[in-house]
Amino acid sequence: MSTRPTLVIGNKNYSSWSLRPWLLLRQFGVAFDEVKLPLDTPEFYTRIKDYSPAGRVPVLIDGATHVWDSLAICEYANDYLLDHRGWPSERAACGWARAVAAEMHSGFSALRTAMPMNARRKRPALTLDAATAKDVARVRAIWREARERHAAQGPFLFGEFTIADAMYAPVALRFISYSVELDAVERAWVDTMLALPAMREWLAEAATEELEPEHEKSTP
């Protein structure tokens, strides 16, 4: 019987929330088993009850411990699976990284609605309404400021890869899918994320999934 943790996720083409902890665990080399449930199907609604009282993915199962919600999973992983490497070690950077990760977790509703995640989609730039344009501008500002402050420490938002990078990874895919204009600093971070072996693995597997209606699923 495996003693490795299990991560329950949705479709890789659509499930932005599943990508976040999956990418974090892969990037830090944590061995885990994966259970993928097809979103918005009878199978999903039958099987998810075995894993999460919230009825949503992702869910991390570590022995007798069940953790649902992407940010909660990332925090749990940081404490018990990553030896506290998930956040920057420097105090000010750690506080800032936690703040922007939480901002991503709780905000940007207009962006999520206007740009549902579809990893295989590539379309011309959208004409954005005011709320979505504000969300896009805020995300770009976060990326730009983080990279400008921490460029000397490495290519990720806070130099080394952190939970903040994992939390914004689906937005990188959304911005590519919807042809959002980025400056050189922002694009360099997106290219760094797309070059990660774990991200390439996720996208390769997303490309093999059966096509579903092109809208964000209810679970992310």
Specify the pLDDT at position 187. Answer: 98
Specify the pLDDT at position 3. Answer: 85
Q: What is the pLDDT of residues 115-156, one digit of tens each?
A: 999 999 888 888 999 999 999 999 999 999 999 999 999 999
**Tokens 């130099």 identify what position?**
159
Q: How far is CA 186 from CA 60, 82, 158, 199, 220, in A?
A: 31, 27, 13, 17, 24
Specify the pLDDT at position 123. Answer: 87
- For the cut 80, the answer to whether the pLDDT of residue 218 exceeds it is no
Q: What is the DSSP code (8-state) at residue 53?
A: T
In which band, very low, low, confident or very high, does the pLDDT at 2 lie, cut at 50, 70 and 90? Answer: low
CA 111/CA 107 separation, integer angstroms: 9
Specify the pLDDT at position 212. Answer: 56
CATH topology of domain 6-84: Glutaredoxin (3.40.30)
Q: What is the pLDDT of residues 188-200, one digit of tens each?
A: 999 999 999 999 9
Q: What is the pLDDT of residues 69-91, one digit of tens each?
A: 999 999 999 999 999 999 999 99
Average pLDDT of the chain is 94
Query: Residue ranges of the domains in the chain?
Result: 6-84, 91-201
- CATH assignment of 91-201, given 1.20.1050.10, 3.40.710.10, 1.20.90.10, 1.20.1730.10? 1.20.1050.10
- For the cut 50, the answer to whether the pLDDT of residue 219 exceeds it is no
